Chains A and B, each alone.
Chain A
Amino acid sequence: MSDTPHASDQELLLALDGELDAHQAQLIEQHLLHCAACRARRDQLQQALVEFLELHRRKAPAIPPAEAASARLKAALAELTSQPRAKRWGLVARSLLAAGIFGALLLLAALLESRRPPGPLPDPRLTPGAARILPRQQVCSMVKPPGARAVSQALADQVFRQYGIGKPRPGAYELDYLISPELGGLDDIQNLWPQPYSEGEWNSRVKDALEEHLRRLVCDGRLELATAQREIAKDWIAAYRKYFGSLRPIAEHAFFVKDLPWD
């Protein structure tokens, strides 16, 4: 902190973006408690950041699904590593393609209203969903270790920041796969978004209940995996209403615990 009575824009922004060390962050925090002018300025800066994020998304081009680019990279890497291997990997890459194992979804759902904090539905421009088709046995056998955190801290930071959250409140969000890994969802940035963990009616616990239900339907052969992926990516709330036949979340699902929040 400087010796002026107010925190500078830079100090406020560093605090907002979680770029200060613990000691400095605490000093700013304390100052903000007593300085209404600084709190107001911090809110203006946060608002400016969120408005710029929105502008940036509006100007951004649509990004084609990743599978063609990803197959191209795999093939190039295979050729690059060693020539005998190249043949084998080229074959694998081609057969994977031919079998249509890589399927990714780029869905243009209705756009979110501008400048809204992350809600129960992701921004389709940032998180259109990305998935591949899994064999049914795998959908049936897929067991995710409880509490496993597959997403690296660096990727998590990036996703939160894209959504204008510099420093997530501990326990407030689940860094959720739009299409869950159990349903073929990929570890792609286009398949991840910060979902409010238990705030609001349509929270991540309710979505977890839907994912489990869809997984069982696919496993039992009552639903095509591709359909499940498409519907959950397009509007998971609509999918919930459809598959549970309930306009509002069923009470017990609010307590359904599968994934832990990000802390």
Chain B
Amino acid sequence: MESVWRIARSVPGVASTDSRLSVEREVSALFAELRAPLLRYMHSLGLSVSDGEDVVQEVFLQLFRHLAAGKPRDNLRGWVFRVGHNLARKHRQRQLRQAPGGVVELEMTDEASNPEEQIRNLALQRRLMSVVQALSERDRQCLVLRAEGLRYREIAEALGMSLGAVASSLSRSLGKLAITGERYE
């Protein structure tokens, strides 16, 4: 609550109630669109869903301030993920200082219909996992953001990369994933 009031005092005067309401509506709409993808992305950075919810709130309060101040709005999805990424990393670093270790374990389950299919799927997933784990952190983040449906310019904004760097990161990673698939099929 304290942080809310701190922000409240620093909100620059917004012209009218109308524009304030329209900013609120816009923030709510983006919240509905991006909360779940953002929570999943932050989970991939090691944040639990409940910690993620706190960070998401902070991100959208910052988005409100950003919009209310009339700042650039041409890549808001990228903006939201950039702020989310930075806050999640800070949060995670604080957690690690307090209680080192505690990596989120990724478990693999399979609900496929029959046992043979399960075994085949699990084997495929293990191969994919080993490739994914061998990627650089940055390449993994690009891939996860692509999986969450972001466009390349949004990924570029989120991770502070150039458009070309995003394209080459994704094609490098998927090229590796495709090669393993081929080798084992």
Which residues of A are in contact with B by a Cβ distance under 8 Å?
8-10, 12-14, 17, 19, 41, 44-45, 47-49, 51-53, 55-64, 66, 69-70, 72-74, 76-77, 79-83, 110-111, 113-114, 130, 154-155, 157-162, 186-190
Given A79-B8, A111-B111, A157-B149, the answer on whether A48 and B177 have CB atoms closer than 8 Å is yes
B89 at the interface (CB under 8 A from A): no
B92 at the interface (CB under 8 A from A): no
Contact of B171 among A13, A55, A57, A189 (CB under 8 A): A13
Q: Which residues of A contact B161 (CB under 8 A)?
A: none
A57 to B29, alpha carbons, bound, how many Å?
Answer: 24
A81 near B20: Cβ-Cβ < 8 Å: yes
Q: How many A-B residue pairs have CB under 8 A?
A: 168
Give 29 A-B contacts (CB < 8 Å), ordered by A residue: A8-B171, A9-B172, A10-B167, A44-B181, A48-B178, A51-B128, A51-B177, A55-B132, A56-B143, A58-B125, A59-B108, A62-B49, A73-B60, A74-B28, A76-B4, A76-B57, A79-B4, A79-B8, A80-B11, A81-B8, A83-B8, A111-B111, A114-B110, A157-B149, A158-B37, A158-B150, A162-B147, A186-B32, A189-B36
Q: Which residues of B contact A82 (CB under 8 A)?
A: 20
- B117 CB, min distance to chain A CBs, angstroms: 8
Given A55-B132, A58-B125, A59-B106, the answer on whether A13 and B170 have CB atoms closer than 8 Å is yes
Scoring A17, A81, A83 by chain B CB atoms within 10 A of each residue's CB, the highest score goes to A81
B109 near A58: Cβ-Cβ < 8 Å: yes
Q: Which residues of A contact B178 (CB under 8 A)?
A: 41, 44-45, 47-48
Q: Which residues of B contact A47 (CB under 8 A)?
A: 178, 181
B113 at the interface (CB under 8 A from A): yes
Contact of A66 among B32, B112, B132, B144 (CB under 8 A): B32
Contact of A61 among B43, B109, B143 (CB under 8 A): B43
- A6 CB, min distance to chain B CBs, angstroms: 13
Given A13-B174, A45-B175, A187-B29, 5 new contacts (CB under 8 A): A44-B181, A52-B147, A56-B44, A56-B143, A80-B64
Given A53-B147, A80-B4, the answer on whether A70 and B28 have CB atoms closer than 8 Å is yes
A158 near B149: Cβ-Cβ < 8 Å: yes
B151 at the interface (CB under 8 A from A): yes
Q: Which residues of A contact B181 (CB under 8 A)?
A: 44, 47-48, 51
Nearest opposing residue in chain A for B127, CB measure: A51
